[in-house]
Structure 1
Amino acid sequence: MLKPNKSEALGSQPIAGLLIKQAVPASIGILVMSLNILVDTIFVGNWIGSIAIAAINVVLPVSFFIAALGMAIGIGGSSIISRALGANDSGKALKTFGNQITITLLLTVSMVILGLVFINDLIPTFGGKGDIFEPAKIYYRIVLYGVPVLALSMMGNNVIRAEGKPKFAMIAMIIPSVGNLILDYILINLLDMGMEGAAWATTASYICCFFYILWYFLSDNSELKIDVGHFGLDLPILKEMSALGFVTLARQAVVSVTYLLMNNILFDLGGEASVTVYGIIGRMLMFALFPVLGVTQGFLPIAGYNYGANNYSRVRESIKLAITYACGVALLIFIVIMAFPEAIVSVFTQDEAVLKDTPNAMRWVFAAVPIIGIQLIGSAYYQAIGKAIPALLLTLTRQGFFFIPLVLILPRYFGEIGVWISFPIADTLSTIITGLILNREIRKTLN
C-alpha cells in the first residue's frame, strides 16, 4: 500500500527554496562520496604506490558499468514514480518499485558472473597492462563481489529521492563514503593488506549502505510499502523504465568506453605515469563537480512531479533556476582549479613525472566547466518528464558524439595534449546543442 502522500510538497512549495532543499542534501551526499573517492586515491597513492592509482582507474569502467545498471533502473523507475505520485497513481508507483528490485537483482548478478569468468580478458582491454595488471586483478575481483549490493543501493537511493526525501538519500550516500575511509585506514595502513585492503574496504562499505536503505523502506519513513505481488515483472512498466533507464546506462557505458580509450591511448603515449595523471584528473572531476551534480539530482524529482501534475509554469521555473545555480557554482570551481592545480596534484603523489604533467592537463580538462550546467540540466529535464529519446541523445552528445571522436583523432596530430584539449571542445559543442534544443522545448511545450 501507499502511505499518505508526503511528496506533495514538490508541487506546492516555492521552487527556489525547494530546489535548494533538494539540491543541498544531494550535493552533500555527492561531496562525501566524491571525497571518499578522492581520499581513497590519496591513501592508495601514498600507502601502496602511484601504480595502485592506475590499477584502480583500470577497474573503474567495469565496476561502474555494472553498478550503473542499478543507477539506470533507479533513475528510470524514479521518473515513473515521481510522475505517478504527482498524478496520484499509487498502483503504478508501487508496481514500478517492485519491478525495480527484481530486475536489478537479475541483471547485476548475471553481469558479475560474466565479469568473473572473463577477468583475464577484461583487465588488459581496459588498460591493465604491464605492471598495472596484477594489482588491478586483485582489486577487480573483490570489488566485483559487492556490485549487486552497490546496484541495489544506487537504485534505492534514487527512489528515496523520488519520494521527496533528500536527507535520507544524502545519508545513504554518506554511509559508504565514511565507512570506506575508516576501513581504508584499518585495512591498508594498520593491517598492511595493500590492494586487497582497498578492495574489501570498498565492498564492505556498500554492504553497510544497503542495510541502511533496506531499513528506510521497511520503516515508516517511506511512502512505498510493497508486497510480494509487486515483484512480478510488468511488461509496460519495464518498457518505460528501460527506455528511461537506458539513458543513464548509455551514459555510464560511454564513460566506461572513455576510460578504456583513455587508459590505452595514454599508456601508449606516456606509459603508466600518463594513466596515473588521468586517474588523478578523473577523481578531481568527480569531486569538484559535486555541487553541479547535486543541483541536477535535486532538479529531477521537482521537474518530474510537476510535469506529471501538468504544472508547466513550475517546470519552466525549475529549469531556469537549476541552470543558474549549476553554472554559478561551476564558475567557482573553475576559478579554484585554474588557480591551484599544482597544490591539488601534490596531495595525491610525490612522483615527479606525475607532478610535472598533471597541472597543465587539469587546466585543459576543466576549461569549459562554467557552462556544463546547461548540458546537464537539459538532458536531465527530458529524463525527468519521461521523454527517453531526446534524453538519450542529449546525454550522449558530450562524450559519445564529440569527445570519443576527438580523443581518437587529436592525439594523432598533437600528441598527449590532444587528449586534454578534447575535453573543453566536447563540453562547448554539447552545451551549445543542448541549449538550443532546451530553449526550443521551453518555448514550444512549457509555455
Structure 2
Amino acid sequence: MAKVTSDQLGTEPIGKLLVRQAVPASIGILVMSLNVLVDSIFVGNWIGSIAIAAINVVLPVSFFIGALGMAIGIGGSSIISRALGADDKEKALQTFGNQITLTLLVTTVMVSLGLFYVDGLIPAFGGKGAIFDPAKIYYIIVVCGVPFLALCMMGNTVIRAEGKPKFAMIAMIIPSVGNLVMDYFFINVFDWGMEGAAWATTIGYVLCFAYVLYFFVSKNSELKVVWHHFRLKSHILKEISSLGFVTLSRQAVVSVIYLLMNNILFDLGGEAMVAVYAIIGRMLMFALFPVFGVTQGFLPIAGYNYGAHKYERVKESIFTAIKYAALMATLVFVGLMVFPAEIASLFLSNKPDMSAFELATNAFVLEHAPSAMRLVFAATPIIALQLIGAAYFQAIGKAVPALLLTLTRQGFFFIPLILILPNYLGEFGVWIAFPISDVLATLVTGFYLRREVKRDLDR
C-alpha cells in the first residue's frame, strides 16, 4: 500500500481527494450496513420476525454507548485534522491520548449502568410482550462487548483524520465479515438462537478492536502516543466534549426516537408493527451508506484545509461533497421506490413449521412495510445538503451551530411530529413525519450554510 500522509489533504485536487476519502468510507459503511442488514435477514429467517423486533429494541442502547466512542472520536479528530493542517503535531498526539483515556472511562461507566438497569431499559425501549425475553438475552451479551465497539469507532475517525481512509475501511469491514460468519455457525449450525446472534456481534467488535490497535502500534500511523499523552488535559477535554457533543446528541436523539417509535407503534399494531419499523430502521442504516460515506470523506478534507487557511479549497470541498452525495441519494431513492415489497420480504422467514402467530406477523409486515418505506424515504434526494451542511460546522470546530443543525431534523422537527401526527393520522402520521422533517431541516441548513460560506470563506 502506497504511503499516504495527512498533508495530501491540502494539496490534491478536491474532486480526486473526495473520491479517495469517500469511496473507502462508503465501502466501509456499506459493509457495516450490509452486516446489520444481512444479520437481520439471518435472524428473521432462522429465528423469527419477533427476534428482529427484539434486536431493534436493544440497538438504541448499545449504539448509544458505542456512539460515545464515535463522539469522542469525531470531536478529537476535528482537533487532530486542524492541528495536522497547522503543523502542530504535539497537540494532535495529546488529543489522541486523551481520546483513548476518555473513551475507556466513559464507556465502562455506561456499560455498568446499562447492565444494572437492564430490566427497566428493555420495556422502556419497546421490549414488551413476546419481545422482552429475546431482547434481554441479546442485550446482556452485546452490551458487554460495546466498549470494544466504542474504541473501534473512536480509532476509526482518527485513522481517517490522518488521511488513511483505506485502513479505516478495513477496520469497518472486519467486524462485519466476522459477525456474518459467526452468525451462520452460531445460529444456523449450532442453533444457539438469540445467544448466537449476540455472541456473533460481540466477537465482531473484538476483531475490529484488534485491527485498530494493530494500526496504531504499527508503522502505519503518524500518531505515536506515549504515557504522558494519556493524562487528561482540561482544555483538550473541553474542546473534544464541545465538538463530540454534536455526535453524541445526535445519537441520543436517535435513541429517544427508537424509544418513542417502538412504543407508539406497539400501541398502534403490537409486535408486528415494531417489526415493520425494525425493517425500516435497517434500511435507514443501509440504504444511505454512500451519502454517509461522502460525509465521512468530507470531514477531514474540510477540517485540514480550514486549519491551513485554504478557504477556496474548503468552499470547493463543500459544493463537491453536496453534488456527489445528492447523486448517490437520488439513486438510492429510485431503488427504494421501485422495490419496497421485495426488500421487506427478504427479512421474513418462510419456514414450513411457523406458528400461527409468526404467520400473522409476517402477513402484517408484508402488508404495511412497502407503503411505509416509500413514505419514509420520500425526501431522500435532498438530504445531502442537510448532512454535509451540518458536518461542515463540525469539521471547522464550530460546535454550537453544528449541534443545532444536527438536531434540527430529528430533534426539533421529527420528535414533535411523531408525538402529534399519529394522534390524528394514526400509522400514516408516523411515516409521513420522516419526509416532512427532512424537508424542513434541509431548508434551515441550506440557509445557515449559505450565510456561513459568504461570511467566512469568501475572502
Q: TM-score, normalised by structure 1?
A: 0.99
Distance 2:278 2:345 in 1: 14
- Amino acid in the other structure paired with 1:114: L
**What's the CA shift for 1:38?**
0.2
1:431 aligns with 2:442: yes
SS of the residue corresponding to residue 315 of structure 1 reads helix
Give 1:310's aligned residue: 309
The within-5 A match list for 1:405-416 is 405-416=416-427
The within-5 A match list for 1:234-273 is 234-273=233-272
Give 2:352's aligned residue: none
1:386 aligns with 2:385: no
Give 1:94's aligned residue: 93
Give 1:215's aligned residue: 214
**Contact kept? 2:4, 2:163, Cα under 8 Å:** no
Give 2:164's aligned residue: 165
Give 1:15's aligned residue: 14
Deviations 1:326-385 (A, max 9, x none): 111100110110011111111111511101100000000000000000000000000000
- Amino acid in the other structure paired with 2:162: E
1:363 aligns with 2:374: yes
Distance 1:83 1:149 in 2: 27
Deviations 1:372-408 (A, max 9, x none): 0000000000000000000000000000000000000
SS of the residue corresponding to residue 346 of structure 2 reads helix
1:277 aligns with 2:266: no
Distance 1:38 1:341 in 2: 15
Distance 2:273 2:433 in 1: 16
Deviations 1:152-182 (A, max 9, x none): 0000000000000000000000000000000
Distance 2:46 2:150 in 1: 29
Give 1:48's aligned residue: 47
**What's the CA shift for 1:416?**
0.6
**Misfit runs of 4+, over 2 Å:** none
Distance 1:338 1:90 in 2: 48
SS of the residue corresponding to residue 445 of structure 1 reads helix
The within-5 A match list for 1:156-235 is 156-235=155-234
Distance 1:367 1:5 in 2: 40
1:108 aligns with 2:77: no
Give 1:328's aligned residue: 327
Distance 1:339 1:116 in 2: 42
SS of the residue corresponding to residue 378 of structure 2 reads coil
**What's the CA shift for 1:254?**
0.2
**Contact kept? 2:35, 2:179, Cα under 8 Å:** yes
Query: Which among 419, 426, 430 is matched to residue 419 of structure 1?
Result: 430
Identity %, equivalent residues: 72
SS of the residue corresponding to residue 163 of structure 2 reads coil
Distance 2:112 2:154 in 1: 20
SS of the residue corresponding to residue 146 of structure 1 reads helix
1:377 aligns with 2:388: yes
The change in CA–CA distance for 1:5 and 1:83 in structure 2 (over 3 A counts) is farther
- Amino acid in the other structure paired with 1:198: A
**Contact kept? 1:5, 1:223, Cα under 8 Å:** no
Deviations 1:275-334 (A, max 9, x none): 000000110111110000000000000000000000000000000000000111100110
Query: Which among 395, 400, 421 is matched to residue 411 of structure 2?
Result: 400
- Amino acid in the other structure paired with 1:392: L
- Amino acid in the other structure paired with 1:304: G
Distance 1:54 1:348 in 2: 11
**What's the CA shift for 1:234?**
0.5
Distance 2:105 2:97 in 1: 13
Distance 1:69 1:342 in 2: 35
**What's the CA shift for 1:6?**
1.6
- Amino acid in the other structure paired with 1:286: M
Gap runs ≥5 in structure 2: 350-361
**Contact kept? 2:175, 2:208, Cα under 8 Å:** yes
Deviations 1:59-83 (A, max 9, x none): 0110011001000000000000000
Distance 2:192 2:428 in 1: 37
**What's the CA shift for 1:5?**
8.8
Distance 1:317 1:248 in 2: 24
Give 1:442's aligned residue: 453
Distance 2:236 2:437 in 1: 34
**Contact kept? 2:49, 2:275, Cα under 8 Å:** yes
Distance 2:151 2:301 in 1: 23
Give 1:148's aligned residue: 147
Give 2:356's aligned residue: none
Give 2:63's aligned residue: 64
Distance 2:125 2:142 in 1: 16
Q: TM-score, normalised by structure 2?
A: 0.96
Distance 1:49 1:430 in 2: 36
Deviations 1:20-73 (A, max 9, x none): 000000000000000000000000000000000000000011001100100000
- Kindly tell me the number of residue pairs found equivalent between the two proteins: 444
The change in CA–CA distance for 1:5 and 1:279 in structure 2 (over 3 A counts) is closer
**Contact kept? 2:340, 2:374, Cα under 8 Å:** yes
Distance 2:331 2:212 in 1: 33
**What's the CA shift for 1:273?**
0.5
SS of the residue corresponding to residue 96 of structure 1 reads helix
**Contact kept? 1:128, 1:136, Cα under 8 Å:** yes
SS of the residue corresponding to residue 457 of structure 2 reads coil
